[in-house]
Amino acid sequence: SFLLEYTLDGVVWIKERSHLQSRYNAMRTTYYLMQFSETKALGDAVGFGSTFLFASVFGTRLYNNRKLVPSGLLSTLSLGALGVFYAAYLQDKC
């Protein structure tokens, strides 16, 4: 019955869910790396790179779809996280 109920909206929902899951895994790895002084710089780099990637993906989706939810919301969240990781990098650098 799942295949009979599978619609275009379901495909979009599954894609959004997979992006959120991959973002969660990237942030979990970043958090783990930033806990130790030996790997803090690597954690900053992974965090900045992954948030830059997600900001780019969601920004492109916002540009193509012109839908504020969920692409605009996730793009804004990604840009905010990008600023946080940049600030963390600057703080660790000094």
pTM: 0.70
Let me know if residue 2 belongs to a domain. Answer: no
pLDDT (mean) for 70-92: 89
Domain that holds residue 43: 8-93
> In whole angstroms, what is the distance from residue 66 CA to residue 45 CA?
30
Residue 62 lies in a domain: yes
For residue 59, what are the CA distances in angstroms to 6, 79, 89? 27, 9, 23
Determine the Cα–Cα distance for residues 43 and 92; give it in Å rounded to an integer: 11
Whether 3 is in a domain gets the answer no
Helices 40-65 and 8-33: crossing angle in degrees, nearest 10, is 160
> Does 44 map to a domain?
yes
Element (H, E) at 70: none
Is residue 86 within 8 A of residue 56, CB to CB? The reply is no
Q: In this predicted structure, what is the pLDDT of residue 92?
A: 85
Q: Report pLDDT for 88.
A: 87
How many separate domains does the chain show?
1
Residue 9: pLDDT above 70?
no
SS3 of residue 5 by DSSP = coil
**pLDDT tens-digit map of 14-64:** 455 666 677 778 888 888 888 988 989 899 999 899 889 889 988 998 999
User: For residues 30 and 43, is the Cβ–Cβ distance under 8 A?
Assistant: yes
